[in-house]
Amino acid sequence: MGALEYGESPEKGVIREFHEETGMTISVERLMLAESSPRDRHITLVYLCRIVDGEFKESYEVSEIQYFHVNDLPPILAEEKDLIQKVYKNLYHHELA
């Protein structure tokens, strides 16, 4: 997703960005992971969110939405896959198959 606007909280930023990119409204349930990148100068925040309103609308950033099992992810950056698997492991407290 994108970056925060000046003075914007991370929770409001994820809600805004998701709406801008999909046309859907979400609520933030809880913070799942906060991690400092070992290579880049940024912090990654991963939130558990719930879709509460709207219908998906394609944008120039997102052409479709699909759900994938953590063991069957599409081709993505290795760092992103690692983050997804780390959150899944923390959420369900078990090793991946």
Tell me the pLDDT band of 1, cut-offs 50, 70 and 90. Answer: low
The answer to whether the beta carbons of residues 46 and 10 sit under 8 Å apart is no
What's the rounded mean pLDDT across residues 37-61?
87
Residue 97 has pLDDT above 60, yes or no: no
Residue 54 has pLDDT above 90, yes or no: yes
The answer to whether the beta carbons of residues 73 and 84 sit under 8 Å apart is yes
The pLDDT score that the predictor gives to residue 59 is 86
Element (H, E) at 69: none
The pLDDT score that the predictor gives to residue 94 is 59
The answer to whether the beta carbons of residues 21 and 61 sit under 8 Å apart is yes
